[in-house]
Chains A and B, each alone.
Chain A
Amino acid sequence: MTSHAERELERRLFHLQALHDISREIAPLQDIAQILRVAAMTLAGVLGASTAAALSRSADIATVQVHFSLGLDRDWHRNLGEPSFTEETFFSASLDTPFGTQLRQAQIEIWMGFQLDEGLALGLGLGPRLAATPYGEEDRQLLETIRLMVRQALINAQLYETQRRTNVDLQRTNQKLAAEVQDRTEALSAAYQALSDTDEGERFIGESATMRQVYIQLEQVAPTDLTALIQGETGTGKSLIARILHQLSPRRDKPFVHVNCGSLPPNLVESELFGHEKGAFTGAASRRIGKVELARDGTLFLDEIGDMPHEAQVKLLRLLEERTFERVGGSTTLTSQARIIAATNRDLEREVSAGHFRQDLYFRLRVFPLHLPPLRQRPEDIPLLAQSAVETFSRRLNRSTPIIAPAAVDFLCQCTWPGNVRELEHLLQRAVLVCRSGRIEVRDIDAAPSPRAEQIPTSDFTSLAESEKRHIQRALEQTNWVVFGERGAARLLDINPQTLRYRIKKHGLVRSS
C-alpha cells in the first residue's frame, strides 16, 4: 500500500472513529449547552478546524448567545448580525447572502443550523483547517451525518428539560398542597386537643369512609360564617361536631354558647334565647341577658332545634334573616353577629310536612347540612371507639387500662347500637368496672344490645308482603288517605302515586269509616 493510500485509510478510520466517539460523548448528555460544547470540540477535532463555535438564540431572548468558542476572539460573533439557523450544513463560500458574507468575514467556513421546539435556534461553525487542504464535499457530508446525530441529542435534551421543569412544577405544587394539608391537619388536631382539654375523653373518633366525608365537610364549612344544620340520631355526636366546628372557625377565641332547646320549658325558651327586660313577665325581677347576646360574635349552638316552640321559631327566623332581635318585654332592637349552628335528631323535613316546624326556618338553617351516620353504618370504627372509651374510663377511675378480648370486639361490632356512640361508651364504662384480670370479655358486656342477628324476634316476624301492607296502611292514615301531592302518602313513601294505588288495591286496603 502506498503511503498516500495508507494515510487515506487512516483518515477514513479516524472519521469512523469520530462518529463512534461523538455518539458516545453526547448520548448521555441532557444539557443543550453541554451537547453544543462537546459537538463543537468533536467537529474541530475530526476535521482539524483551527476555530469552532456554538451559538444559540431562544424565542424569548433575541440576542445571540455563545456557548463555546475555540481559537476565536471573545467578540467574534458580534459581526455576524442576524445568523441563519436553517436545518442544514453548508459552506459559507456557497452562501450568497449577507449572513454568508458575515461568516466569511469571521473566517467561519462551514456552518450547520438546528431549529428546535419553542423557537430555540442553534448553530455550529468551523473555521479554516489546520491542514493545508480545504474542506471538501466529503467533509460536508460527514458533518451533515454528525449534525443529524447532534440534532437528535438536542431534541432529547430539550424534552428532558421540559420534563424536568414539569417535574419541578409538580413538586412545588405537591409541596404546596402538602403544606396546606399539614396546616389543616394541625388546625384539626388543635381543635381536637382543645376539646380534649376542656372535656376529657371526648374526641371524635372514626376512620370510616362515611366519617371521612363528614371531616371533609367540616373543613369546608368551618372557616365560613354559614349556618350549619347537624342531623343525626341520638348519641351520634352532634354536640361534639358543633364544638369542633367552632374550634376550627376563626371564631374559636369567641364564646361558644350551647342552648338545648328540648330541655327548656316552652314559656321560657324565648327568654332564655333573647333575654328579657325587668318586669317583662311575672318573676322577671331583673333584666336578663339571653344566649344570643352572650354568644356575641361567637357561635350559638341550638341543640334539639326540632323541639323549639313555634313562637320562638318566628323570632329565630328573624334573627337569621335580619340579624336583629328584642329582649322579651323590650322595645330596643339589638343586633347579633353570632354564627348559628343547629342540631336535631328529628327528620326536620318530615316535621315541616307535618306542620310542626316552619319551612322558611328550615331552609334558613340547612344552608350547610351535615349528616352524622349512626354507628351501625360504620361498624369498622367500633374497635377504635371502644379502645378510646376504655382508656378514658380507666383514666377517670384511676385504673390500668384493660385490653378488650378479640371475641368481645367482634361482639361489639355485631351490635346494632340504637343509642349509637353514647350507648357504646356507657356500656364500656360498666365493662371497665366489672372486668377481671385486666381483660374485658364478652361476659362483661352481656348487657349490650342484642346483636343484629338476634334483634328481630322470630315470634313477631312477618312476611315482606304483610310488612308492606302495614307500612302503606300507616302512611295512608298519617296522610288522611291522600295519595297524590306534596302531603300525599306517595310522597311520604317516596314511590310513584300510580304504583301506590296499585299496591293499595293489591293489599285490599280500604279506608275505615
Chain B
Amino acid sequence: MIENRIDTTTERVNDVTVITILGDLNAAVQEQVDATYAAAIADGTSKIVIVFRAEDHINSAGIGLLIGLVMECRNGARAVHFVHPAEHFRKIFDIVGLSRYAPVFSTLDEALAHFA
C-alpha cells in the first residue's frame, strides 16, 4: 500500500458541513477519511460538501473510498456534494457514475449555492 497521510478540516457554513481534504486520496487514508466523516456527522448534519485541492491526486482505490462514503450518506439520508477544481477528476467522477449520486462542482461556492 502506498504510504500516505492527509490533513482534513471540517467547518460549518450555515447548515452545511464542509470537509476539506488536503493530500492524495488512496487506500492508505481510508481510516482517516472514515474518522473525519464520523466526526463530521456527529452533530446530525444532513448536508455535506467534500472539497479537494486541484493538485491532489485520487487513485482508483480513492474513488472506491468515495463511493463507500456516498453510499453511507445515502443510507443516512444525507446529501453530499463534491468540489474538485481539476476538470480531469470531475470527468472521472462522471465516468464511474459517482456524480449521479453526488454532484461535483469546481468551487465551494457553487456547491453551497446548490444546497441553498
A-side interface residues toward B, CB under 8 Å? 7, 10-11, 14, 17-18, 21-22, 24-26, 28-29, 34, 37-38, 40-52, 70-71, 129-132
Contact = CB atoms under 8 A, between A and B. Distances in A.
A14 B88 CA distance: 10
A44 B59 contact: no
Interface in B52-99: 59-68, 71-72, 88, 91-92, 94-98
Given A14-B60, A130-B100, 6 more contacts: A25-B59, A26-B1, A40-B64, A41-B27, A44-B63, A50-B71
Contacts of A11: 95
A1 to B, nearest CB: 14
Contacts of B37: none
Nearest to B62: A45
Interface size of B as a range: 20 to 34
Contacts of A17: 59-60
A46 B60 contact: yes
A42 B61 contact: yes
B100 A131 contact: yes
Contact of B67 (A28, A29, A49): A49
Contacts of A132: 97, 100
B10 interface: no
Contacts of A10: 88, 91-92, 95
Contacts of A71: 67-68, 71-72
Nearest to B68: A70
A70 B71 contact: yes
The listed residue with most A CB atoms (<10 A of its CB), out of B27, B62, B66, is B27
Given A45-B63, A130-B100, A14 B71 contact: no
Contacts of B66: 45
Q: What are the 7 A-B residue pairs with the smallest beta carbon separation, nearest first?
A: A130-B97, A48-B96, A131-B97, A45-B63, A45-B64, A41-B64, A71-B71
A129 B61 contact: no
A45 B27 CA distance: 11
Contact of B26 (A25, A34, A48, A51): A25
Contacts of B1: 25-26, 28-29, 34, 38
Contact of A130 (B27, B59, B65, B98): B98
A247 B37 CA distance: 71
A42 B64 contact: yes
Given A38-B1, A44-B67, A131 B95 contact: yes
B71 A51 contact: yes
A22 B1 CA distance: 9
A14 B27 contact: no
B97 A129 contact: yes
The listed residue with most B CB atoms (<10 A of its CB), out of A25, A38, A46, A48, is A48
Contacts of B95: 7, 10-11, 14, 48, 131
B65 A45 contact: yes
B20 interface: no
Contact of A48 (B30, B62, B91, B98): B98
A43 B96 CA distance: 11
B2 interface: yes
